[in-house]
Amino acid sequence: MRDYHIHTSLCKHAEGEMEQYVEAAIAKGITEICFTDHIPMPNNFDPEHRMDMDQMDVYIQQIDYCRSKYKKINILMGIEADYMEGCEEYLENFLSTYHFDMVIMSVHFIKKWGDKGWVFSYEYTKDTIKQQYKDYFDCVVKGAQTGLFDVMGHFDLIKRLNHPVLNTNAEDVHRALNAVRDNHMSLELNASGLRKFIKEPYPAAGILELAVQKDIPIVLASDAHKPEDVGYRFDDMFNLLFDYPGLQLAAYSKRQGRVDGIIAPDEAEPDLEDFE
């Protein structure tokens, strides 16, 4: 029971203090969590959705305090790092400065769309949905190929209601999954879509099946933005995982990923090993 995607009020669009998230996780029987507040970006980009640079010391101090106070749970220090084309050098320098346990890659902005290029505001572009999806997955591929990240976050975040990405962009999905696999990343099964209008996790079940076929390890993620979101519908998430014998569950520490569980078709004990 790990929850590898948790935000706090430090990133300004979430609610609640770090201790509240830890206590919520303990109450739900979760044994390991990873805090993943949003990375500061250069030139004060998108300040309403992320930490300021001068909050990084506070972030680290709060995690250290929670580690010392709560011995019943393992607490990892992660970060959600937005990939935007042109920010590679900044990301490399930032990520090498701190001792993270895990780095989530996410794509929230598409540079070619202009202005902020927010993926949820597709009126920025007059392109077809198929082209919008392609633009998004092009960014996923480029980000994965940098080798800067450990986990691909909410893989099909771009999807629109009643427009599954596999229906129009299967080739792009395969390209992006291959980039994730080839760069030794895992894929998160993110519950936040179940709380949103899309009413399904990220990624959709068909994409999860493709990831399993490609031997891409999976991590569970609530993408919590308030304490009660921790472990959100993890029972349903586990039931979904059990539909895919051979699915590998990943765990992280100090930027090293390992396979720490396999959904087996029988009771045989699987061999567990590092995947990096």
CA atoms of 18 and 23, how far apart (whole Å): 9
Omega into 203 within 30° of 0, i.e. cis? yes
**Greatest Cα pair distance in the chain:** 53
**Segment 47-96, tens digit of pLDDT:** 677 888 899 999 999 999 999 999 999 999 999 999 988 899 999 999 99
Q: Which residues neighbour 180 within 8 Å (Cβ) at sequence distance 6 or greater?
A: 140, 144, 152, 155, 186, 187, 211, 216
What CATH class is the domain 2-262?
Answer: alpha beta
Residue 146 token pair: 């940098």
- Report residue 263's pLDDT band, with 50, 70 and 90 as the boundaries: confident
- Report residue 178's pLDDT band, with 50, 70 and 90 as the boundaries: very high
Contact between residue 237 and residue 202 where contact means Cβ atoms under 8 Å apart = no
Minimum mean pLDDT among 24-28, 114-118, 195-199, 212-216: which range? 114-118
- Neighbouring CB atoms inside 10 A of 262's CB total 17
For residue 247, the 8-state DSSP code is P
Distances (CA, A) of 275 to 31, 150, 177, 181, 260: 22, 11, 16, 10, 10
Length of the chain in terms of residues written:
276
pLDDT at 45: 73
Q: Is the dihedral of CA 36, 37, 43, 47 positive or negative?
A: positive
CA atoms of 10 and 51, how far apart (whole Å): 6
Three-class secondary structure of residue 164 per DSSP: coil
pTM for the structure as a whole: 0.92
The whole-number average pLDDT for the span 172-188 is: 98
pLDDT at 203: 97
Distances (CA, A) of 152 to 103, 139, 149, 163: 9, 12, 8, 21
**Segment 107-134, tens digit of pLDDT:** 988 877 766 676 766 555 567 889 999 9
Q: How much of the chain, in percent, has pLDDT values that exceed 70?
A: 91
Contact between residue 56 and residue 40 where contact means Cβ atoms under 8 Å apart = yes
The whole-number average pLDDT for the span 137-143 is: 97
CA atoms of 217 and 186, how far apart (whole Å): 5
Given a cut of 60, whether residue 150 has pLDDT beyond it is: yes
Contact between residue 35 and residue 14 where contact means Cβ atoms under 8 Å apart = no
Given a cut of 50, whether residue 4 has pLDDT beyond it is: yes
Minimum mean pLDDT among 84-88, 188-192, 267-271: which range? 267-271
Q: How far apart are the first and last CA of the chain?
A: 22
pLDDT at 265: 63
Q: How many helices (H) and strands (E) does the chain have?
A: 7, 9
- Report residue 269's pLDDT band, with 50, 70 and 90 as the boundaries: very low
CA atoms of 85 and 234, how far apart (whole Å): 33
| Average pLDDT across the chain, whole number | 90
Q: Which residues neighbour 47 within 8 Å (Cβ) at sequence distance 6 or greater?
A: 12
Contact between residue 212 and residue 1 where contact means Cβ atoms under 8 Å apart = no
Residue 194 token pair: 């179940």
**Segment 217-261, tens digit of pLDDT:** 999 999 999 999 999 999 999 888 989 988 999 999 999 999 988
The CB-side HSE value for 31 (13 A sphere, CA atoms) comes to: 2
pLDDT at 47: 65
Where are the domains positioned within the chain?
2-262
